[in-house]
Amino acid sequence: MNTALLSALHEIEIDKGIPFETVKGVLEESLLAAYEGREGAVEGAEVVLDRETGDLRVVKDGEDITPHDFTRIAAQVMRQTFYQRLNEISNDQLLEEYGGRMGEVVTGIVQQAHRRMTLVDLGRVEALLPASEQVPNERYENGQRIKVYLLEIREPGRGPSMTVSRRHEGLLKGLFELEVPEIYDNLVEIKAVAREAGLRSKVAVWSNEQGIDPVGACVGPRGSRVRAVVSELRNEKIDIIQWDPDPARFIAKALSPARVREVYLDEDEKQAEVIVPDDQLSLAIGREGQNARLAVKLTDWKIDIKPESQATEYDEEEEGWEPDEDSTMHRCRAVLSNGRRCANTALPGSLFCGIPSHQAQAAEFEGLVEGS
């Protein structure tokens, strides 16, 4: 009876997560290949492991033809091909399990924390958290539970290598998906995320269901949901804003908490000129330009912020111009709250640009024209 062999195979089953029948089959195949490679091997023989006793036998048509030195052959096979083949099967299983999960947020336990890299145990596999994917002001301790973003899985010579991240924008998005049921149920959608890891982030959300406040859903009762995300990100500041299909409104909201007076759009260049009150300029730009940078990332528009006192002023001749009948492009005729003329180009067939408030002026203008 060879109980030691059975115990070793069951340990492999538990450690590598490979079914016992698969482990048994790999051992039998490896031993058969070794047997067939020796002199005097009987053609058509097979190797059988007795699940009750753990004995290994070579049989042919039910007859035991086990060589006297088969135990030595088995020991050599165990050291060479058997464990190599098991590692290949284990690697294939890991690739199958995690290959389709890239982009998910999972919980892991820090195994080894170093400045250059940190190893994180995800259960069946250890993942690498490199310095480039760590948050600068975060420190990790052995045994600490952290949530990470599954970034990449590779298959080098020694098996799959997984890379995770703590600074990827997908981590922030995934944390909100875990904390906000409305996002999980697709009632609320995260439209855009901009992040400077460890410092500040902006999240734009939109409701797919009438009557649901997307910002309120993400904040949660008394701020409980967003507070849980902030806690996991070590007190990273998070601004949640409502996404808007109108670029001008979206850009204005993206610059919150600053108040915005006007937004001029150049859709061809995808560039916006934003006018803010003088006392809101530093708030709109943010510390070291952070608020403006995040707004640019969030909206995917180039943004030029100007104080109201330095906004372009047009002379009387320019203010009084009328559309040229031969021209297909005209300047919007809307008058801003500061009394200045809108600098946007009018829509085709209209004297006004596409900003909703200016379209309202267009309706008033057309009514006056028809009335006259």
pLDDT tens for 4-24 read: 888 888 888 887 778 888 888
The span from the CA of 355 to the CA of 262, in Å, is: 10
**What does the radius of gyration of the chain's CA atoms come to, in whole angstroms?**
33
Q: Is 222 left (phi over 0), alpha (psi -120 to 50) or beta?
A: left
**Residue 297 pLDDT:** 96
Residue range 176-215, pLDDT digits in tens: 999 999 999 999 999 999 999 999 999 999 999 999 999 9
**Is 127 in contact with 162 (CB distance < 8 Å)?**
yes
Three-state secondary-structure class, residue 57 = strand
Which of 311, 299, 317, 301 lies closest to 342, judged by CA?
311
CATH numeric code, 170-261+280-299: 3.30.300.20
Q: Does domain 105-167 have CATH number 1.10.357.10?
A: no
Peptide bond into 160 cis (omega under 30): no
pLDDT in tens, the chain (372 residues): 567 888 888 888 887 778 888 888 888 888 888 878 777 788 888 888 888 888 888 888 888 888 877 778 777 777 778 878 887 787 777 777 777 788 899 999 999 887 788 999 988 788 899 999 999 888 899 999 999 999 988 765 555 578 999 999 999 999 999 999 999 999 999 999 999 999 999 999 999 999 999 999 999 999 999 999 999 999 999 999 999 999 999 999 999 999 998 898 888 889 999 999 999 999 999 999 999 999 999 999 999 999 988 765 433 444 444 545 555 567 787 776 556 677 777 788 788 877 777 787 777 777 665 555
* All structural domains of the chain with their residue ranges: 3-99, 105-167, 170-261+280-299, 319-371
pTM of the complete model: 0.68
CATH numeric code, 3-99: 3.30.1480.10
| Identical fold, 3-99 and 170-261+280-299 | no
